[in-house]
Structure formats: structure tokens, C-alpha cells
Amino acid sequence: MKFKRIITILVAILIFYFGFMFAMKKYVYPYKYAEYVNKYSEEYELDPYLVLAVIKTESDFDKTAVSKKDAKGLMQIMETTAIETANKMGLEVTEKDLFEPELNINIGLKYFTYLLNQYNNNYPLAIIAYNAGIGNVDNWIKNGIIKEDGTDIENVPFKETNNYVRKILRDYKIYKELYD
């Protein structure tokens, strides 16, 4: 009888523990701005979990974020890139507009889609280019530092970009596990 009670208590503790850990993981990896993430992921045919991983890495879902290099908003878009991308979309934007979540996600994903097209839908290369720029990625490929298929991301020479792409790919996997 005592053994059965101990087992019941242990099972209850395990259920509580794993439930708590799952809830904590969702707290650390939230699905914020779902309306816009889902809308524009669908429009640009992107996996919303990848989009969430990019936003988490870029701004940790802080719509007012500004980087050291002056990238802005949820997706940390450089103003010149945002204006150029918005113009291609038939939109006019100001610096202030980049802090508006829907517009920031829309422009960021439009630009990310452009990068995917540049690199034959290769997610790692597009992610690297989103952080380090197309010119760097093209030079690294041309000089044999990284492969065109993106299978050797560990060779990315910029430490920040190397960590960045790894973090996004890790977070992407976590988002898929949590919300898929």
C-alpha cells in the first residue's frame, strides 16, 4: 500500500515537472505576433516556425529593438534595405514605420524571400546573407570558404554570423517541436 502511494506521488511529480518544463519552454519560445507571422509566412510560402526563430534571434520579439548597426524592429531590418524592399512592393516607408510589427514582418519576409531566391531556396545561405549580406556570402562561395549548398555553415568566417545561423537553425527546430 505504501509502495503504491509512493509510485503515485512520483508519477504526479513527473507529470508536474514535464508539464512545467513544457510551459517554460513555450515561455522562452513564444509564438508572438501570430497573426502577422502566419499571414506573411503563407503569402511568401515560408515556414512560420523559421520566421519565429528569425524574429527571436533578431529582436527577441521587441518591436522597438534597434541594433548597434541601426537595424530596426522585430526582424531588425536596415533602413536602406527596408526602403528598397518596400519600393519594390509599391510601399513607401519611413524609419518610424519600421517599428510597426505587421509592416516590419511583411518587409522582412519579402526580403528574406528575395534571399532565398538568390540562393536556390537554401535556408542556411539565406539566413547567413540576412545577417552578413549578399556580397559576403557570394565572396565566401566564390573563394571556396563555404559551399553553394550550405552544408558547411561551420566555415562562415564571421563569428557573429556563424553563431547567428546556428542559433536560428536550433531555434527553428525547437519551434517545430513545440508548435507543430
Structural domain spans, the chain: 1-30, 33-179
- Confirm whether 58 is a catalytic residue: yes
Q: What does each of the 180 residues of the chain score in pLDDT, given as a tens digit?
A: 677 777 766 655 656 555 656 666 777 899 999 999 999 999 999 999 999 999 999 999 999 999 999 999 999 999 999 999 999 999 999 999 999 999 999 999 999 999 999 999 999 999 999 999 999 999 999 999 999 998 999 999 999 999 999 999 999 999 999 998
Three-state DSSP class for 66? strand
Predicted pLDDT at 15: 60
Predicted pLDDT at 4: 74
Predicted pLDDT at 1: 66
> What Cα–Cα distance (Å) separates residue 36 from each residue in 6, 24, 58, 63, 152?
48, 24, 16, 13, 32
Top CATH class of 33-179 equals mainly alpha
Catalytic residue among 43, 58, 95, 100: 58
Cell numbers representing residue 112 in the block: 528574406
Pair 34, 6: CB distance under 8 Å = no
CA–CA distance, 66 with 58 (Å, rounded to integer): 10
Predicted pLDDT at 16: 58
Predicted pLDDT at 142: 96
Predicted pLDDT at 24: 65
* Beta partners for residue 77, in sequence order: 72
Predicted pLDDT at 26: 79
